[in-house]
Amino acid sequence: MKIQHLLKTCLLAALPVLLASAQGGPDSNSQTPEGYIEQWKTVAVKKMKEHGIPASITLAQGLLESRNGNSVLATEGNNHFGIKCTPDWTGGKVYHDDDKKNDCFRKYRSADQSFEDHSKFLERPRYASLFELKSTDYKGWAHGLKKCGYATDPKYPDKLITLIERYKLDNLDKGVDVSYAKADKPADKPSGKSGKHGRNDDNIVTIGGMRNVELFDGRIKFVRAKKGETVKDIAAEIQQMPGLVANWNDMDKDSRLEEGQVVYIQPKRNKSKDQESITAEKGETLWGISQRTGVKLKRLAKYNNMGIADPVTAGQKVWLRKHK
């Protein structure tokens, strides 16, 4: 049986970002990784004591598979581990496109049941070798899950290990609690010129010494690419589907990024809030202007009666909203 994989890689450390809803838009009620851990760590520890599965592994899998409890399967079916229906399953069912259209997944009356079913699922004979490992050997468990066929993604062990070490979940395996300080809420409106991605300490959330999540124009969250990264790498860190991140940035999901390049981690806006138009700079493209202004590329093309790939000349006025 295959396990659902909604994402390609692991979650950005302590990410205080509102992940996209099932429709691709921002959801103010999205749960953060810290919130997910706080909610389910007691259950994970309980299952560890009952079944011998490291709490760190359970939580890391839950974070990854359910997008911190925000996935469609988690919200509609209380299914936090992407466990599909099997011939012997007599419980509820929820259907979701995965390996094929309308794949059948198990639906639970409560998420607690999902955690219990996950534990029982790992007690099947194919995973017997895992229980020969110590409950504190989270790396052995992570690699063992892949070896036993739990996941087809070759990077699955690394994703789990990264999550565990980022949130220090291995402390739970040793009987030590984990907790996280809440980040201050960014200012609603950054200082500096509108339409620019200027850095401002009041407009940045620093994430566990890792990557900064910034606000463009006080509204749209974005990160800056590191050297050698791709769209898929960014999607991996924010635990989102590469296709969505690519769509939000009008790129291909296999695109390579330049160091420092702005990558939006939620949809751009349909129009500029504060500017009616801007003047194109030398060498700019309509796509570049879209990234610079936070306005969707297709909208810019429509406002300016252009194709998305049409050339832009230096000094050209580019409308950022509908004009008469």
The domain segmentation of the chain, as residue ranges, is 33-173, 201-264, 277-319
Please name the fold of domain 33-173: Lysozyme (1.10.530)
How far is the CA of 5 from the CAs of 10, 80, 159, in angstroms? 11, 11, 12
Q: Scanning the structure block, which residue is given the tokens 């010129």?
A: 193
Say if residues 190 and 218 touch (Cβ distance below 8 Å).
yes
pLDDT one-digit tens code per residue, 74-91: 988 999 998 888 888 889
For the chain, how long is the longest CA-to-CA vector? 72
Please give the average pLDDT of every successive group of 10 residues along the chain, which has 324 residues. 36 35 40 90 92 94 91 90 88 81 88 92 92 91 93 89 92 86 40 45 42 77 88 83 88 88 90 89 91 92 92 92 83
Please name the fold of domain 277-319: Membrane-bound Lytic Murein Transglycosylase D; Chain A (3.10.350)
CB neighbour class for 48 (10 Å; exposed up to 12, middle 13-18, buried from 19) = buried
pLDDT for 205: 44
pLDDT for 291: 92
CA angle, residues 25, 269, 205, in degrees to nearest 5: 75
Q: Six-digit token pair at 308?
A: 């998305």
CB neighbour class for 124 (10 Å; exposed up to 12, middle 13-18, buried from 19) = exposed
pLDDT for 192: 30
pLDDT one-digit tens code per residue, 21-66: 333 333 435 788 998 999 999 999 999 999 999 999 999 999 999 9
Residue 96 belongs to what H/E stretch?
strand 92-96
Cβ partners under 8 Å of residue 209, min gap 6: 13
pLDDT for 318: 94
